[in-house]
Structure 1
């Protein structure tokens, strides 16, 4: 009888310890949530970033355009299918970044706009688009992503440079896409010159200023930055935010996008 009581007590203690561990790991134990997002770019840091997120069991949101990569191919070529498939299988979220990384220039009458693609057959040219053409540009990303991964994008988009307008937002809304910007403190600075904005400065700025609900933005590689941001800052940023009690989630879990 005494041995049985000891066994029961031991089992209850184990259960209590397990429940405590689960509670500590649950979102309810977080003091806030940060939403990590990554735009395509040169893709030089793509595998590194994916590995860090995997190591920390963090799900992020990726915004995809068909950009030229350091491999000499394009980020939405079939050669990148294994990369995107694995991220999709791991539970990350995905949005459009316009297929040819199309920058908005200015609004015109009747919902039209002047835009300038960075890549593709019309690269560098100023074009006049209507709302349907802008929607088609977003849907093209979705169609290619579905070909590569077997799943569709989430109903989200991010305009290159974050540059939007009433006409851009209305066009995207008409085909079901909500725009996702980023918090002021969420600008990683990975596009800036590393000589002027060293990684240590960018890391401190983010850790000092990010707050609950903030959306953080970085790229999967930037051609121009000499000292890449991600290898120096991504893991210290995650660990620093975790030490402050922050958890991480994808944009579809953000209160503004549910």
Structure 2
């Protein structure tokens, strides 16, 4: 026992002082309980993974974060784990999606078992390769102080921007992100992907049917149409893409579609997994974590 604990038992009248053997026994029971709880949770996850015959992989990119609380509520209610790809994008709360105001939200998602990965810190679009021996790229950030301007970045600069988002995610979540990234708009080149892999990040796109359409104009693509299309075409193994808020869409997608989509896919025998379980990425993740 610690000195302060011994002092308490000496001072407290009429209270039996615990023996060192009894204290050790209680400590052992506490440690055993933690081990058993961890083993149970791990076993439950392994069982769920082994019994998931029709997996889909729901992913969210950041955005203005206006629907982020709703998304979290739906995922919690439906007991679904997803993978979030984060950049420091402008939000409706006068900041960015990785700032201190949103840190508690991210930390809560980590506690729920979600996974995280980089979306490049400045939501930096690849606009083209620059000719030459050394890899260089035309890059246009859509977030941060230089949003809208075009730059030429070398391999180190591009890798640094991927890593910056990953490092910030680890800071706000307390959980190490996956060694994955998603290029904004999914725009890449073979050279860009090789550079990213060279600095430890594999790229994740999305399946054709997994494009859920939340960034399309609602005047042409109603929520009802997008839901019906997704439920008809999504297949096992698909990576699904949605966002935590799209500025341009007038009729937000998530409030109308997210939960009916999850319920509808479950009714069709689908189950939800994070990219940590995806067969195309799990070996990469295991070897780069």
Please report the TM-score for the alignment, with normalisation by the length of structure 2: 0.79
Contact 2:116 2:169 in 1 (8 A): no
Counterparts of 1:35-184 in structure 2 under 5 Å? 35-108=57-130, 109=132, 110-184=134-208
Distance in 1, Cα, partners of 2:279 & 2:220: 35
- Looking at structure 2, the residues matched to 31 and 200 of structure 1 have their Cα atoms a distance apart, in angstroms, of 28
1:206 is displaced (CA, Å) by 0.4
The offset of 1:252, in angstroms, is 1.3
Task: Identify the range of structure 1 (46-55 vs 139-148) with the bigger mean alpha-carbon deviation.
Answer: 139-148
- Note if contact 2:115-2:274 (Cα within 8 Å) is conserved in structure 1: yes
Q: 1:30·1:245 contact (CA, 8 Å) conserved in 2?
A: no
**Do residues 33 (structure 1) and 55 (structure 2) align?**
yes
| Structure 1 runs (4+) greater than 2 angstroms displaced | 25-31, 149-152
* 2: CA distance, partners of 1:136 / 1:179: 15
Contact 1:113 1:167 (8 Å CA) reproduced: no
Residues 19-30 of structure 1 correspond to what in structure 2 (within 5 A)?
A: 26-30=48-52
The aligned residue for residue 263 of structure 2 is 239
Q: Alpha-carbon deviation of 1:231? A: 0.6
Between the aligned partners of 1:211 and 1:147, the Cα distance in structure 2 is 35
Q: Higher RCO, 1 or 2 (CA under 8 Å, sep at least 6)?
A: 1
Deviation at 1:28, TM superposition (A): 4.8
Q: Could you give the per-residue CA deviations for residues 35-84 of structure 1, whole angstroms, max 9, x where no partner exists? A: 00000001011010111010111100000000111111110101111000
Q: Which runs of 5+ in 2 are unaligned?
A: 1-43, 283-289
* Contact residue 131 and residue 167 of structure 1 kept, 8 A: no
Instruction: Identify unmatched segments of 5+ residues in structure 1.
Output: 1-21
**Which residue in the other structure is 1:254 paired with?**
278
Greater Rg by CA? 2
* Alignment deviations for residues 154-180 of structure 1 (CA, whole Å, 9 cap, x no partner): 101000000011121112101111101
TM-score (norm 1): 0.88
The alpha carbon displacement at 1:146 in A equals: 2.2
* Paired residue total: 235
